[in-house]
Amino acid sequence: MTDQYDVVVVGGGPAGYPTAIRAAQLGFKTACIDAWINKDNTPAFGGTCLNAGCIPSKALLESSELWHRMQHEIGAHGISGSDFKVDLDKMQARKTAVSRQLTGGIKQLFAANKVTGLEGFGKLLGDGKVEFTPHSGDKQVLTAKHIVIATGSSPVNLKITPFDDETIVDSWGALDFTEVPKTLGIIGAGVIGVELGSVWSRLGSKTVILEAMPSFLPMVDAAISKEALRHFTKQGLDIRLGAKVAGAKVKGGKGGKTVEVEYEMGGETKKETFDKLIVAVGRRPNTDGLNAKEIGVAFDERGFVKVDANYKTNVPGVYAVGDVIGGAMLAHKAIEEGVALAEQLHGEHTQVNYDAVPSVIYTMPEVAWTGLSEEQAKAKGFDVKVGTAPFAANGRAKAMEQPVGTIKIIADKKTDRVLGVHMVGPYVSELLAEAVLGLEFAATVEDYALTMHGHPSLAETFHEAVLSVDGRAIHA
């Protein structure tokens, strides 16, 4: 049997499901195929982000932060008590419930927008055809004028530290621990490594993060990443830079497995044993079994699907968006690409502004940035002026008992235009929207300076940082 569609999207994560919804809103007859199956054997739309990434990690970060604040901060508010304890099963159940509410919501959105959601595997057959193999039942062939690859990415499995899904785990496994490991090793001090390290360290794991690079968060402005490192170290995360892992051996038997990690640091070979090891060294595009190469779709040297500025592959009628095309591996970048593509298929001239991508690390304090760091701006040849303001002087942050962190504004001396905003501090993920909007509108330092910010609010520190660019901050 052959079903005919205008658009078939393969992959129902943050790239795929918005592509499908927007295409359907624009009048295309649309289907979205997704192969995700959760560990309890339930299929779900939403991809990595909703099932094993953004959302479950933020749920556990929130719970573990509450626990941390109760232990370390609550006394300062004049509140005391000793009867609190962590019920990890309940914490994990809450995490799963949050994810499931959202993944269930996608099905409702599909129904409301008349998208046909198909749970199972999609394979490109060429000539506008896609084979759909449902999780149970018979294969079907769909035809479509436009086929969108939105198959996402999976954790890189290193040969020297292969996942066994028990002692050596990927980020998904690390979100599902049923006990708090006494000792935890993490390979990779990127966004995922630092977030997962924070969760388990707050819950009691003695956590060591091994990072091969000599610098911490090199994509973040050096002053901000240095300050973040100081806060994380103070909280108990043992982040070892320049630590190159050579291998890992799982030892012991039933009930008592540990993993010994060998690494080289400062010219010495070292060994350390952990109860669990998380490998968070990056993600690779999902194209296994997709048959994309076989129908002629071109890939780059790292296995990402090659596309032009309009998300077209080299095969007519086949497009790709999201993690599978590389670039910033972020859910919101995937969503924007999907929506832009659907609108282009409808004849509109939409585009994604890759100079204003927001990035966040949901630690405590959070790290958030958009646009260029001071180092990047200088390397691009800008004559740079910068301003900074600390949260230490912010009334709201003090009232919240979180007066830590700094906001840094990077601007062009010649045009006064803001080039980047890099921050570490409380809820800077929320302040980031102001920064991104400014970059989108090509705001100048003067535009921001003339903008009134509510008092008392964390955003006042943003204003102070802007004012300090030209030496006119009032409180710093």
Which residues are at the interface with ligand FAD (CB under 6 A)? 10-16, 33-36, 47-49, 53-54, 57, 121-122, 150-153, 171, 192, 286, 289-290, 322-324, 329-332, 334
154 is in an annotated binding site: no
Rounded distance between C-alpha atoms, residue 227 and residue 340, angstroms: 37
Question: At 270, is the secondary structure helix, strand, or coil?
Answer: strand
Of 149 and 443, which has the nearer Cβ to ligand FAD?
Answer: 149
Look at residues 193, 152, 124, 138 and name the one whose alpha carbon lies nearest to residue 19: 152
Query: What is the smallest separation between the CB atom of 19 and ligand FAD, expressed in angstroms?
Result: 9
Of 9 and 243, which has the nearer Cβ to ligand FAD?
Answer: 9
Question: What is the β-pairing status of strands 140-149 and 258-265?
Answer: unpaired
Sign of the Cα torsion 42, 46, 52, 56 reads negative
Of 323 and 460, which has the nearer Cβ to ligand FAD?
Answer: 323
Question: At 325, is the secondary structure helix, strand, or coil?
Answer: helix
DSSP states along 193-236: HHHHHHHHHHTT-EEEEEESSSSSSTTS-HHHHHHHHHHHHHTT
332 is in an annotated binding site: yes
Active-site hit among 231, 349, 455, 463: 455
DSSP states along 57-126: HHHHHHHHHHHHHHHHTGGGGT---S-----HHHHHHHHHHHHHHHHHHHHHHHHHHTEEEEEEEEEEEE
330 is in an annotated binding site: yes
The pair of three-digit structure tokens given for residue 228, joined into one six-digit string: 């973040």
192 is in an annotated binding site: yes
194 is in an annotated binding site: yes
Query: What is the smallest separation between the CB atom of 108 and ligand FAD, expressed in angstroms?
Result: 18
Query: What is the smallest separation between the CB atom of 419 and ligand FAD, expressed in angstroms?
Result: 22
Catalytic site includes residue 231: no
188 is in an annotated binding site: yes
Query: What is the smallest separation between the CB atom of 369 and ligand FAD, expressed in angstroms?
Result: 13
Of 129 and 417, which has the nearer Cβ to ligand FAD?
Answer: 129
Of 131 and 264, which has the nearer Cβ to ligand FAD?
Answer: 131
Cα angle for residues 339, 345, 350 (degrees, 5° grid): 50
Which parts are annotated binding residues for FAD?
Answer: 58, 122, 151-153, 323, 329-332
- Active-site residues: which are they? 455
- Residues contributing to the annotated binding site for NAD(+): 188-195, 211, 282
Indicate the annotated binding residues.
Answer: 58, 122, 151-153, 188-195, 211, 282, 323, 329-332
